[in-house]
Structure 1
C-alpha cells in the first residue's frame, strides 16, 4: 500500500503499526533461527520509541561500537611522534630548497657553482623543453588556422548566397 500525504492519519497509523510489527517479527525470527544478535530502534513520526533486541540492546550497541572502532583503527591511534614530524619537515624543506635552486638555474641565475658538464646538461634540458613548447605552439596555431579557414569558407559561402539574393531582387 502506497501512502501519500493526503491519507488519513488512521490509515497511516495502521500501516505503520502493521509494518513495524512485521519488521519486529522478522527480526525475532532471524535472531532465533540464525542465532544472530539483532537490535532494532524505531521512532514513529510522533516520537514514540519502539525497540527489539536479542540478547540485549546494550550488548548489540557495544558490539557495534567495538566493530566500528576496529574498522577505523587510524582514528584511534595516537598522533605521530613529534620527532618523526620534525624529520619529515626538514626533509621537505631540503627538497624545497633543491627545487628552488634548480628553478633559479633554469632561469639562468645562480650558475656560478656549476661545472661545464652540469651547465651543458641544463642547456640540453632547456632545449628539449623549448622543443616541446614549440611543438605545442605549432599544434595550437595549426588548429587555429584550420578554424579560421573553416570560418572563411562559411563566410565565403554566405557571401555567395547573399550575392545571389541581391541579383534576384
Structure 2
C-alpha cells in the first residue's frame, strides 16, 4: 500500500497530533544517534513538546555543548557586528571622498573662469586671492629655473675659455720650438761645409 503525501500544516486533531509527535520524535532521536555513530559527529538535540515536556539527546556533555554553542554564536555575532561597522566606515569614507572630489571639481571650474556669473563677491575675492598665490609660486619657480640655467651657462663658458687658452698656448709655443730646432740643424750643417781659402798643403812654388 502506497503512503500518501502528508500536507505540511498543523494537525488540528489533538490525538492525531500527539501520535504524530511521538512517532516523529522517536524518529528524530534515532536519526541523531545514527549521525553520531556513522559520521563521528557531536550532536545534541533538545525537544519541548506542546505541553512543555523536555526530550533531549546528546552523545557528549549537554552543558558543554550548550556553552560551545553560545560561544560560537557570540563570536559569530561579534564578527558580523565588526564587519558591519567596518562596512559603514568604508561607506562614510567613500561618501566623504566623493564630496571632496565634487568640491575640488567645483573650485577647478571656478579657477578656470567657469560659472563666474553665479559667484558672489566673496567667492570672486577668494578666487582672486588663490590665483595671486598660484601666480606667485609660478613666478618663483620660473626665477629659480632661470638662475639654475644661468649658472650652468656660466660654468660652460668658463670651461670653454679655459680650453681656448690651452689651445692658444699650444699653437704659440709649438712653432717657436720648431724654429729653434731648425736653426740648430742648419748651424750643424754649415760647420761641415767646405770653405775655399788661400791655404794649401805642400811645398811652396819656386817661382813665387
Return the TM-score normalized by structure 1: 0.50
